[in-house]
Amino acid sequence: MAAAAPTHAPVCSSSACRAGICSSGTPFPSFRSAEASAPGWRRREPYPAVSVVPGSAPGAVAVDTEVDTLLDSVKWDSKGLAVAIAQNVDTGAILMQGFANKEALAKTISTRKATFFSRSRSSLWTKGETSMNFINVHDIFLDCDHDSIIYLGKPDGPTCHTGAETCYYTSVYDALQSSKPNEGRQVMTTLYSLEDTISRRQEEIVTEGGGKPSWTKKLLLDNQLLCSKIREEAGELIQTLLENEDQSRAASEMADLLYHAMVLLRVKDVKMEEVLEILRKRFSQSGIEEKASRNKS
């Protein structure tokens, strides 16, 4: 079933709000419909109120009153720009950072493809228009000052022009501590650093007479050991609830379970990002609860 067109209620009627300072004391008030209490990654249909003007300059867009009000609430700098950061909705990886002007933000709102203003070319550009690696925008956030934007989206492929997943692959501390060049270590938060560590253990070569293999390597080489550990860790997590153990114990046992389960994912060649994408899709379709309730209770 096609989604119903959203109701275009005025965002805020006050002139203060239009000027960027609402009477609520915040630069621009946040609004939420009942529907919007759904998780943040819920992807809605393309907002239909913004359209390309026929015959206008490439990339030019027309905006309706509500979008115009919102665009006016952004504190554009003296060049009409604001920082725009693209972030992977599933992994949280910061993919790239550019700048948006009013038209770039309007086009992103309308098309759901992350669009920026190129300062060197003085024109709009949609990430992916050449490489086809678009960033499919699920939500857009403004910061408290309304001068910084997050495009929260799912990339179709590598974002960086070098072919890297993210443009951020130069660690300052690595650079300062070594003179040896390397291929670059991408910025990674904890879960993905752990995933990367497990991957690197898989590449280790175990030789007879060599050093003792790491625990991760042992698990990677022994399916029976790995499975018994996952079962054991699940049991220990459950025990923290049934025996009313303290919170730190629950957190610790969850860490153990997550780590061992991620080793299994490595053996199966499955990425955490795939798991998170499944969870996002299930929840955005009210799927996981429905599925769980239907099949298993």
Distance, in Å, from the CA atom of 33 to the CA atom of 7, rounded to the nearest integer, reads 10
SS3 284: helix
- What's the token pair of residue 195? 């995933």
- Residue 68 Cβ vs its own copies, minimum distance, rounded to whole Å: 11
Binder among 3, 4, 132, 176 for its own copies (CB under 8 A): 176
CB 90 within 8 A of CB 278: no
Residues of this chain, 91-150, that bind its own copies according to CB under 8 A: 91-94, 96-97, 109, 139-146, 148, 150
CB 151 to its own copies: min, Å:
10
Which one of 131, 197, 199, 202 is in contact with its own copies (CB under 8 A)?
197
Based on the number of CB atoms within 10 Å of its own CB, is 31 exposed (0-12), middle (13-18) or buried (19 or more)?
exposed
Binding its own copies (rule: CB under 8 A), the pick from 136, 158, 191, 199 is: 191
- Indicate which single residue of 21, 52, 60, 275 sits in contact with its own copies (rule: CB under 8 A): 275
- Tokens read off for 5: 């067109």
Residue 256 as a binder of its own copies (CB under 8 A): the answer is yes
In 3D space, the residue among 195, 175, 128 whose CA is nearest the CA of residue 156 turns out to be 128
- Within positions 52 to 91, which residues make up the interface with its own copies, using CB under 8 A? 66-67, 70, 83, 85, 87-91
Nearest residue to 96 via CA among 63, 135, 123: 135
> Using CA atoms, how far apart are residues 262 and 267, in angstroms rounded to an integer?
9
Q: Does 203 bind its own copies (CB under 8 A)?
A: no
Give the binding range for its own copies (CB under 8 A) out of 8-16, 52-60, 123-131, 203-211: 8-16
